[in-house]
Amino acid sequence: MNANELSFLVVEDDAFQRRIVVNMLRSLGATSIGDAGNGMQAFAILREPSGKPVDIVVCDLNMPEMDGLEFLRHLGQEHYNVAIILMSALGSKLLISAGKMAKMYGIKLLGVIDKPFMPEQLKQMLTKFMRADYNWPQASSAERFTLEEVLQGIRANQFEPFFQPKVEFKTGQIVGAEALARWIHPEQGVISPYGFIPLLEQSGEIDKLTFLILEKSVAACRSFHDRGCIFSISINLSPNSLDDTTLADKITQVVRNAGIDPRYIILEITESAAMTDVAHALENLVRLGMNGFILSIDDYGTGYSSMQQLTRIAFSELKIDQSFVKDFADNEALRIMVKSSIDMAHELQIKIVAEGVETQQEWDLLKNMGCDMAQGYLIAKPMNLISFVEFCMGYRLRM
């Protein structure tokens, strides 16, 4: 897909600024570009039944009659299938807050840009949209399947781990991979986690999937080690699973039955689960650590953590959420937060992984900040076992 195949709408009250953005899009190859002076005019275009569906809206925040925030709210409430690029001269902090609000409304947010900006920044966001394998979190995707359909898929062994490599900044080597659950649906192809994880968690059936992915991931780890590739495999644990006091022993048994030392299995726990005060959850995490597993805090920065809470459990890895990495190259506040997280982790003798690394600029900045590992589309997308093995065989050190 190219820019000339997409339909754009620029929503900006200043006519001069609006022309600048339109001309930038044209310079990037766009041919179908509409424009509006505020949110109300934009909706008149979006609602036009005979008009071409809009793919991407480039929207200002501060506008008369209907500003960008109200426009985003209505977009979310009416479930328009468009992607949004937010722009503003009001400062990066307000832009970041507006971006988080957009995501909470279920909007496909490509990114935020401080005005004035350069065509290259716009190009990066268009590249992200045009990437065929880019998965958007959709609030309604879980409604496509019933719980029984998902459980039948598990019983039919249709779920597989897809592996996304983790690369060490210092050496440029692949040092591990995260195993991400995918449903290989016989009719609808590869289904992302948004189509089944919420159903399984809400129904209390998530452990059926967790242990299926665990068994397959551990078997893959065994095959990597047999090939001489001593990788660690990261596996996600649902917060819902931690209430079962037998969980740690069950996981340990699966891993040891496969002949894998638990130190090669990293168990990722979301920050909100890691900070829980529920005794059962803490008992599981402590026991997993006692059994030799590496514990990792996933999505760091999205929960409610503190230095004291981070030291309650023997975490060995911390993963900076991709929402902090994305666009941090152009956002001083985000850079400060990422750098302070890296420094804090190292003070606590914790390795730090940056998720969602998509550009060379992000790689270079993170490397200079002393980050330990990177994971993201710059290195590779998640892939099935065969593709991952082929990728590793052809991989050249990233330095």
Question: 116 preceded by cis ω (within 30°)?
Answer: yes
CA dist., res. 74 & res. 80, Å (int): 9
CA dist., res. 58 & res. 122, Å (int): 9
> How far is Cα of residue 71 from the mean position of the Cα atoms in its chain?
25
The angle subtended at Cα 166 by Cα 304 and Cα 160, nearest 5°, is 90
Active-site residue identified among 355, 358, 362, 390 = 355
Q: What is the DSSP string of 278-313?
A: -HHHHHHHHHHHHTTPEEEEEEETSS---HHHHTSS
CA dist., res. 151 & res. 87, Å (int): 43
What one-letter code names the amino acid at 397?
L
Query: For the chain, how far is it from start to end, CA to CA, in angstroms?
Result: 30
Residue 61 backbone phi and psi in degrees, to 5: -90, -45
Distances (CA, A) of 333 to 86, 95, 218, 297: 17, 11, 39, 22
Active site residue 362: no
CA dist., res. 31 & res. 223, Å (int): 50
> Is the Cα dihedral 60, 66, 70, 72 positive or negative?
negative
Residues classed as catalytic: 355
